Amino acid sequence: MASVLRAAGRGAGAVTAATCTCAAGLYVADRDAFDTAQRFRRTAALSAWMLADYSWHLRLHPPDSTTREDALEDCHRRNAPLLRNLCFQNGGIYIKIGQLLGIMDNLLPKAYVEELQACFDACPRSTSADVERVILEDLGKRPLELFETFEQEPVASASLAQVHRATLPGGKQLAVKVQHRPLLRLARTEMAGIDLVLRCVRLIEPRFGFQWLAEEVRESLPKELDFRLEAQNAARCRKIMAAAGLSSAVVVPETHAPLSSTRVLVMDFEEGQSLASNAAAMRAEGVQPHSVVRRFSEAYAEMAFGEGFLHCDPHPGNVLWRRSQDA
């Protein structure tokens, strides 16, 4: 164990020393770049520790050992909370990756899935100043120059953005989705750091290859960070529901293009409760769970088999239910 830890420690120490040296200079020039360097340092250090822990215990318990599975489970239980804490501490893209891993119960050990599901409830919040700055940079005006009212406190926050309530002069209720400010500018750098750590891990220990994860996020992240694409997808989905006669039962909020941009998406505010609600909560509102499932299935069948255009991220935060005459 000592030799493995020394090797991992030397690697982590070298990365940490280099990162700290660079970070000292970066802090003065660019706080965002400094924070990126700090996130990379933490990621590299934890990767080295986890690699050493797994490598040592798997060597102590060879494949034919009757204790190997128990030892592996112990490793999972020790390291899963550490990975969760790293996602919390680093925030942003790391929270997004934690969410992706948190639903992969068919690929990852149970301990990791259970710990990383907490990433759905641990999303960062941008300050009011950062929110105003993003809106000003993208739309050329401050929030109260664009909207009659704009609530400073977000009603929801996700890994990449947060949502604020606002109104137009006529009283129309809006949901204003604002991207966390540094994400778009630093996304490529962040992913390069994550990719480097995963490559190093795979070179040292091929059994721990998660390179596919970096490739998946690298491909999807630029699309998720361009809210204009989300607006286009919403408009297309709304047309599909209307053509299928489902628009009164499956509501896709209408977007407002003149008030939207790459990092700001404005849409109608629609009330609803998360699909994470249990069946009893639905029945208490006079809604039968099977009716929600039926509508949901009809909508997905229409998208998949009718149009070949599919909403591929239907987690509880993205799909809400509410009582209506059509429910």
The residues assigned a catalytic role are: 313
CA angle 127, 129, 133 (to 5 degrees): 120
Residue 249 to residues 157, 244, 311, 324, Cα–Cα distance (Å): 26, 11, 17, 8
Integer-rounded Cα radius of gyration of the chain: 23
H or E element in which residue 34 lies = helix 31-60
Tell the burial category of 63 from Cβ atoms under 10 Å away from its Cβ (0-12, 13-18, 19+): exposed
Where do we find the tokens 């500018």?
185
CA distances from 258 to 112, 171, 175, 234, 264 (A): 42, 17, 14, 15, 11
Separation of alpha carbons 231 and 38, rounded Å:
34
Q: Is 166 strand, coil or helix? A: strand
d(CA 200, CA 197): 5
Nearest residue to 54 via CA among 211, 214, 215, 206: 206
